Amino acid sequence: MLLKMLRKDFHRKKSITITLFIFVMLSAFLVSSGSIMFIKLFDSIDNLFTTSNTPHFVQMHAGEVDQTEIDRWTSSNSLVKDQQTVEMVGIDGANIFLGNSHEPEKNSVMDISFVKQNKSFDYLLDLENQVIQVSKGEVGVPIYYMQEENLKLGDKVRISNGSFDKEFTVAYFVQDAQMNPSVVSSKRFLVNDADFETLKNNFDEKEYLIEFLLKDLSKLSEFSQAYQSSNLPHKGPSVDYGTFKILNALTEGIVPAVILLVSILLMIIAILCLRLTILATIEEEYREIGVMKAIGIDEHYIKKIYLFKYIVLAALASIAGYLGSLFISPLFIENIMLYIGTTSDNILHQIIPFISVSIIFFIVVFFCRLTLRRFNKITTVEALRAGSIGETKISKGFLPMHKSKYLDVNIFLGLKDILGRLKMFGLLFFVFIVCSIIIIVPVNFLNTIQSPSFIKYMGVGQSDIRIDLQQSDDIVQRFNDVLTYIENDKDVEKFSPMITSRFNVIDSDGVLENISIETGDFSIFPLEYLEGAAPSSGNEIVLSYLNAKEMGKSVGDTLSLIVDDNKKEMVVSGIYQDITNGGRTAKALLPVVNNKTVLWYVVNLDVKRHVNIGDKIHDYTEAFHSTKVTHLEGYLAQTLGGTIEQLKLMTIVAIVIAICVSILITSLFVQMLVAKDYSQIAIMKSIGFSLKDIQVQNVVKVLLVMVIGIIVGTIISNTIGQSLVNVLLSFLGASKIEFVINPVQAYVLCPLILILSVTVTTLLSTKSLKQAKLADLRVE
């Protein structure tokens, strides 16, 4: 009997049932896909790190190393399981030609190094997570360049510096647990041992990775402090195992996080739609329910009849969503598999998505049961007497018609209906708020991350051109030559040289730790500060957000530095945001007394208005050997290019989802509205209201609710939505992002798309009004 009733109900309310099915299915599909992506992501990271045997602690060093001294210190440290020193040959992008390009990588912000395969750990892997063994004349190219330059196996990589010219064949694409993410501005190319020796003999720039595996990873902090307190090489940043994992997870984890968020929003919408549908069904069948109670049918059995339909609907939709995710999720995880590698399937890859979908099912059923508690309020006498639940009836004295003299009658009647049934129209209002948020937050974030002003979250002031000089034996002379050249360049408006050096800071336990501090004039290209201001004297220092957080420092606090072998008390004058170098940097007006502690040199400059920036970058690239000359907009595009492309895709998907949700909800709502108000509509037609008049009333209702919903959604997007983005980026070092809003996109185009789609849907959904006749009214 229940199945018969189910079939009959489906044929009677086909469009409403299908719409509810789609919402529950989409919610189940997305939550299952999101959970699959997260499982694959973390499994892939674990598999990559296990297979590559990723080091637990890495000290980058530019300059010569004494391996004997490193071995002696290693053997005396009981925490160390294994140690190796990886030699890298740094080759300037101006000497590297990728694929069929006749232009070198001279404007690349990436530090390109060539290495040979490691013997003990930190292996470079292929796309199948196999340790690569490169033959002579072959090269393994980082995945970053495969995507950025559209390289394919068999393409050529040519290295030429005038006196030396060699061509390699691309045989592998490299997965590098340390340097995969695009936000890491160093990349390793893998060559054969013999080819590595050839390159080493023809290029002088060398850098080392001093790598350690520990016996107990939980002792990492203790080991890091011991290394930093030693006299071992440390002319460069140090990175640990946890940082490698965070960088890989954050880079690829944005998409699954957004998918799960959207699935939760869709589930909330589905639950609200189910509630509205159940209440509308009870309203329509109020008298029948009273009759069933009158003839002695148990109330629990009546609830069971109504609940059965929604259990079947939720179960079928959840199963469909789960099965769909198993087939389609491989498309979502394609990029994860590319960058982090494959992982073997196991039973958890099916069980956890199934559990997540089951949770969706039980939540839907639970809220259906809650809504059906309305049966407890239905009495047999009242149901038979009134024939209606009475909840959605409008008070006869509410906004009488004589008050409509200043408004069109149809607009007035639409407004009157909304104000008289606020609770019911609240669902539509909520949905339009959610749809606005789903569109506006990704659009605003995409505009923000593409804006040149985003550079302020990378710990530098905004300028036209940035010149980076990495370590080499003659770097001081090269730096002075660059400054002399710029000083004599009449096209330069202003410039600011910056020097980043390694200092020791004494932590709260009295242990020495390394800290990278940039020195220079911070008034020429000023930063924006979360708190405080730039250092104005030699005893003031500003810290990046993550440094301040980890040290427990705020503006006005002091910290102790070792400067020129002397202890110096520094006052924290400001805190700024920085997502580069692991988000741990600092700036102060300190003298550079020892060039051996210098990590790198940077010059920022602005050119005069009439000067073409592209031409000037070309001139500087030709003039300065082994330097990186970049336009800051290009700097953003290269370091955050992968993230920007993902955000573009997410934004398009978000807009499509929001429009589809708006159309489906509007269609469902208007059809239920027509069903509930069928009697009133028939009466209105009989007294002279045309079909167009009634359609206008429905459009007015929907659009008025939508406009208010869009306004509220925009406010929430720019407050709570912006805060959610800040929480995500705070892990990278930027805790207070301010959206860069394109008013035409955010306030005109996006709302217009929603308004047009909803208006058309409302008009199409009211076609059934043609059949509404006074003769069809049920006699009560």
> How is 452-465 classified by DSSP, letter by letter?
GGGGGGBTS---SE
- Distance between CA atoms of 496 and 604, rounded to whole angstroms? 5
Whether residue 397 has pLDDT greater than 80: no
- Distance between CA atoms of 485 and 623, rounded to whole angstroms? 9
Residue 153: CB atoms within 10 Å: 11
Choice between 128 and 237, residue whose per-residue pLDDT is larger = 128
- The predicted structure's pLDDT at residue 683: 73
Bridge partners for 657 per DSSP: none
- The predicted structure's pLDDT at residue 593: 65
- The predicted structure's pLDDT at residue 12: 66
Cβ neighbours of residue 536 under 8 Å, at least 6 residues apart?
Answer: 573, 589
Q: How many residues does the chain have?
A: 780
Q: What average pLDDT does this structure show over 391-402?
A: 50
Residue 511: CB atoms within 10 Å: 15
Residue 393's pLDDT band, with cuts at 50, 70 and 90, is: very low
Q: What average pLDDT does this structure show over 687-702?
A: 78
Total-model pTM: 0.71
Report the percent of the chain where pLDDT is more than 70.
84
Residue in this structure with the two tokens 């023809």, named with its chain if needed: 202
Contact predicate 706/696, CB 8 Å = no
Residue 496's pLDDT band, with cuts at 50, 70 and 90, is: very high
Helix (H), strand (E) at residue 431: helix 422-450
- Distance between CA atoms of 117 and 133, rounded to whole angstroms? 7
Residue 528's pLDDT band, with cuts at 50, 70 and 90, is: confident
Sign of the dihedral through C-alpha 268, 269, 270, 276: positive
Whether residue 85 has pLDDT greater than 80: yes
- pLDDT tens-digit series, residues 409-439: 777 777 777 777 777 788 788 888 888 888 8
Bridge partners for 492 per DSSP: 607
- The predicted structure's pLDDT at residue 488: 92
Choice between 530 and 375, residue whose per-residue pLDDT is larger = 530
3-state secondary structure of 548: helix
User: Of 158-162, 260-264, 309-313, 564-568, which range is least confident?
Assistant: 260-264
Residue 12: CB atoms within 10 Å: 11
- Distance between CA atoms of 289 and 299, rounded to whole angstroms? 9
Residue 320's pLDDT band, with cuts at 50, 70 and 90, is: very high
- The predicted structure's pLDDT at residue 1: 57
Whether residue 777 has pLDDT greater than 70: no
Q: What average pLDDT does this structure show over 313-334?
A: 83
Residue 523: CB atoms within 10 Å: 10
The beta strand positions in 215-366, using DSSP E, are 238-240
- pLDDT tens-digit series, residues 578-620: 877 667 789 998 887 667 677 788 999 999 988 888 888 888 8
- The predicted structure's pLDDT at residue 573: 92
- The predicted structure's pLDDT at residue 259: 76
Contact predicate 663/757, CB 8 Å = yes
Whether residue 471 has pLDDT greater than 70: no
3-state secondary structure of 204: coil
Q: At what angle do helices 641-676 and 678-686 cross, to 10 degrees?
A: 70
Whether residue 641 has pLDDT greater than 90: no
- Distance between CA atoms of 113 and 187, rounded to whole angstroms? 6
User: Of 95-104, 163-172, 665-674, 714-723, which range is least confident?
Assistant: 665-674
- The predicted structure's pLDDT at residue 567: 86
- The predicted structure's pLDDT at residue 112: 87
Choice between 200 and 337, residue whose per-residue pLDDT is larger = 200
Residue 3's pLDDT band, with cuts at 50, 70 and 90, is: low
Domain boundaries defined on the chain: 1-53+251-389, 63-235, 396-453+640-780, 471-625
Whether residue 196 has pLDDT greater than 90: yes
Residue in this structure with the two tokens 């804006």, named with its chain if needed: 451
Q: Using alpha carbons only, give the angle 526, 532, 535 rounded to the nearest 5 degrees.
A: 55
Buried b (16+ CB within 10 A) or exposed e, 534-550: bbeeebbbbbbbbbbbe
Whether residue 672 has pLDDT greater than 80: no
Contact predicate 207/471, CB 8 Å = yes
- Distance between CA atoms of 40 and 44, rounded to whole angstroms? 6
Residue in this structure with the two tokens 């739609």, named with its chain if needed: 273
Both tokens of 423, joined, read 């609770």
Q: What average pLDDT does this structure show over 537-551?
A: 87
- Distance between CA atoms of 417 and 691, rounded to whole angstroms? 17
Whether residue 772 has pLDDT greater than 80: no
Whether residue 654 has pLDDT greater than 90: no
- The predicted structure's pLDDT at residue 392: 45
Whether residue 693 has pLDDT greater than 60: yes
Q: What average pLDDT does this structure show over 672-698?
A: 74
Both tokens of 184, joined, read 């890491």
Nearest to 410 by CA among 669, 697, 134, 184: 697
Q: What average pLDDT does this structure show over 17-30?
A: 83
- The predicted structure's pLDDT at residue 727: 77
- The predicted structure's pLDDT at residue 385: 53
Helix (H), strand (E) at residue 415: helix 409-420
Cβ neighbours of residue 199 under 8 Å, at least 6 residues apart?
Answer: 89, 91, 114, 159, 166, 191
Residue 719: CB atoms within 10 Å: 9
CA distances from 716 to 259, 372, 387, 705, 727 (A): 19, 32, 41, 16, 16
**CA atoms lying within 13 Å on the CB side of residue 664:** 22
Nearest to 239 by CA among 584, 517, 599: 584
- The predicted structure's pLDDT at residue 324: 87
Q: What average pLDDT does this structure show over 118-128?
A: 90
Cβ neighbours of residue 472 under 8 Å, at least 6 residues apart?
Answer: 62, 204, 205, 478, 626
- Distance between CA atoms of 546 and 370, rounded to whole angstroms? 46
Whether residue 738 has pLDDT greater than 90: no
- Distance between CA atoms of 695 and 765, rounded to whole angstroms? 9
Q: What average pLDDT does this structure show over 462-490?
A: 84
Contacts within 8 Å (CB) and 24+ apart, 241-247: 241/49, 241/54, 241/55, 241/56, 241/57, 241/217, 243/582, 244/49, 244/54, 244/177, 244/178, 245/45, 245/49, 246/731, 247/181, 247/183, 247/184
Whether residue 215 has pLDDT greater than 60: yes
Report the percent of the chain where pLDDT is more than 90.
17
Whether residue 725 has pLDDT greater than 90: no
User: Of 50-54, 98-102, 639-643, 767-771, which range is least confident?
Assistant: 767-771
Cβ neighbours of residue 474 under 8 Å, at least 6 residues apart?
Answer: none
Residue in this structure with the two tokens 């059995």, named with its chain if needed: 301
- The predicted structure's pLDDT at residue 617: 86
What is the DSSP pairing of strand 138-142 with strand 57-61?
unpaired
3-state secondary structure of 622: helix
Sign of the dihedral through C-alpha 668, 671, 676, 680: positive
Q: What average pLDDT does this structure show over 286-306?
A: 73
Task: Look over the chain and give the mean of its residue pLDDT values, rounded to a whole number.
Answer: 80
Whether residue 390 has pLDDT greater than 50: no
